[in-house]
Amino acid sequence: MAFKIIRNDITKVHADAIVNTANPLPIVGSGTDTAVYEAAGREELLECRKKIGVIERGQSAWTPSFNLEKNGIKYIIHTVGKSYRGGNHGEENVLHSCYVTALKIASELNCKSVAIPLLATGHYCFPKDLALQIAVDEISRFLIEHEVDVFLVVYDSESYKISEKLFDDVEDFLSDNLKSTEEKDDNQIVPIDLDAFIRTSNDTLNFQNTLMLHIAERKLENATVYKKAYIDKKFFSKIISNKDYVPKKHTVMALGLALELPLSEYEEFLASAGYAFMPSSRFDMIIKFCVMNHIYNLINVDVLLYDHGEECFSPS
């Protein structure tokens, strides 16, 4: 199970199924719909689409992939959205349903992977941040229950920031908080009592105990935590069963986000594994911004990392 953002033409993505933004009538629409028909074989796909008939808004249906099978694509899932007209005409409910019904079909077809664009942000003119939040909500719910890789396909990352408002907010935060590696810390080193330091360190919980304590305090299931952190069951078992094992910093950060720790507890959680936020690291400062603003869903976090050219949490 994984979520990953990729830049590509959706007809060239290697996935079991792709999601197409379709016209409710069995005709070839504009944008992505046209691209999918041309890549799959216009006549064959249209003939198959006619057999399905009208697809109601918010609903989805599937066809074979025809010529796209050479790319490893087995199915095309056609979903029908609704134009955004201020938000008072049921548009959001329709878009939620598009994701729910499309992903449900992918699961019923036993797909191991599905590629989906950010729906309704083109011809249907949905505000991008609202469309993104709906996508994140429904994809997150789906991934908690299903072992399927979901790819959010972005066509042009240079001109297309996935989250416009948050991108600007993060930029402001980085400009105020990101320190150059050439800046020097003016804090003086204070002599410490070495014996006292060793005694205090021995009393401190190790990373495994700290992790399990947070899980217990929040009455969470282990599976909920490792799935939210993009970690598989076997790796999570290794983390909690080996007291001498310290995961990489990105893994610790992902677990802290999955636990939804407030900033002070998040920093203590990092410290229990021997890590800390580095003021010279853009990645670290973006994660700090997310924690401070209670952005814990790793899909949202990955969107911000992707928009800023940083490595995402999702597996490569």
- The DSSP code sequence of 254-296 is HHHHHTT--HHHHHHHHHHTT----TT-HHHHHHHHHHHTT--
All residues at 6 or more sequence positions from 227 whose CB lies less than 8 Å from its CB, including other chains: 1, 143, 144
| HSE value, Cβ hemisphere, 13 Å, CA-based, for 66 | 18
Out of 33, 149, 284, 302, pick the active-site residue: 33
Q: Which long-range contacts (CB under 8 A, 24 or more apart) does 187-196 make?
A: none
Does residue 33 carry a catalytic annotation? yes
Residues 111, 237, 296, 305, Cα dihedral to 10°:
-70
Cα–Cα distance measured from residue 296 to residue 268, given in angstroms and rounded to the nearest whole number: 17
Q: Which residues of 122-132 are buried (b: 16+ CB within 10 A; e: fewer)?
A: bebebebebbb
Backbone angles phi, psi at 115, to 5 degrees: -110, 135
Catalytic residue set: 33
